[in-house]
Structure 1
Amino acid sequence: MRKEDKGVIIEQLTATLQEYPNFYLTDIEAIDAETTSRLRRECFKSDVKLVVVKNNLLKKALENVEGDFSPLYTALKGNTAVMFSQVANAPARLIKEFTKDTKGEGKPQLKAAYVQESFYDASSLEALVNIKSKNELIADVIALLESPAKNVISALQSSGQTIHGLLKTLEERK
């Protein structure tokens, strides 16, 4: 590969790293073509961008991005594919779903991840699956805020029906 080509690839990777706040380093070595196509389709459905990279080029791209990504450098061995996503847990759920038939032993295999400004290693897949996305957290907060209001409205409606029933009973006695 020519030096100019490497420079272009590093620039593209740097731009992609700046565009996506979350990315997962995965091992997809020895996956056959059919499984790779299925993985790419699932990534597309989940709005996850899958890119196979050379480790040295990814390392240089990480060095170009603001911040210290040195904890990820140890994972840059062997074949590496990067899963970029706007949603923090989407790639983790995809990896878990894709490897459920092999009880987590199949490929793709998590090597490391950078999610919500934190670093995770290969053993953190379950924790990453359980991370809530921004939209899920907003929905939880809204549900918590709505709950007391719903209880008050429910109590007022039921007490109104009780008072109405009591007045009706008193009226019928006369």
Structure 2
Amino acid sequence: MKKEVKDTIIVELGEYLKKYPHFYLVDVTGLNAEKTSDLRRKCFKSEIKMVVVKNKLLHKAFEASEIDFEPLYGCLKGNTALLFCETANVPAKLLKEYKKEGIPAFKAAYAEEGFFVGADKLEELVSIKSKNELIADVMALLQSPIKTVVSGLNAGGKIHGLLDAIAERNK
């Protein structure tokens, strides 16, 4: 591979590292063409950008980045693919489907501005909530007091008695 092509790939990887807030390193050793295209299809449906890279070029892209990716250097062995995404837990959920087969194998991730190195961290990444899941949780918490008042009114209570009970509780 010519130096100009390598430089272009390093710059392209650097742009992906800036564009996407989260990425996963996976080992794709042992994936045949059919399973690779199946994985790419699932990634596309889940809005994950999959890029198979040479470890040395990825290492150089990491070094050129503003973020210190040194904790990930040890994972740059074997066949490596990067899974770039906007939501931190989506690739983890996808990789969990493949856990029985062991291919692709999770190596490491950079998610929520933190490093997750080792196969044991996959469950931790699955449990990270997305922005939409957090908003839904907050909305449910905000609706809880309103539901209590409405259920009290529907149970046949009088508004005056309900307001007195609330006033007594706040004293």
TM-score by length of 2: 0.88
Deviations 1:11-70 (A, max 9, x none): 100001100000000001111111111111110111111100011111111122212110
**Whole-Å Cα distance in 2 between the matches of residues 106 and 86 of structure 1?**
24
Deviations 1:101-154 (A, max 9, x none): x2xx52010111000000001220111111111111111011111111111122
Unaligned runs of 5+ in 2: 161-171
Q: CA RMSD in A?
A: 1.6
- 1:125 aligns to what? 122
**Whole-Å Cα distance in 2 between the matches of residues 162 and 18 of structure 1?**
56
1:110-121 equivalences under 5 Å are: 110-121=106-117
**Whole-Å Cα distance in 1 between the matches of residues 139 and 159 of structure 2?**
30
- 2:167 aligns to what? none
Give SS of 2:156's match: helix
- 1:143 aligns to what? 140
Higher percent of residues as helix:
1
What amino acid does structure 1 have at the position aligned with 2:76? L
CA contact (8 A) 2:10 2:60 kept: yes
How many percent of aligned residue pairs carry the same amino acid?
57
- Choose 1 or 2 for highest CA Rg: 1
1:75-114 equivalences under 5 Å are: 75-99=75-99, 102=100, 105-114=101-110
TM-score by length of 1: 0.87
**Whole-Å Cα distance in 2 between the matches of residues 151 and 98 of structure 1?**
43
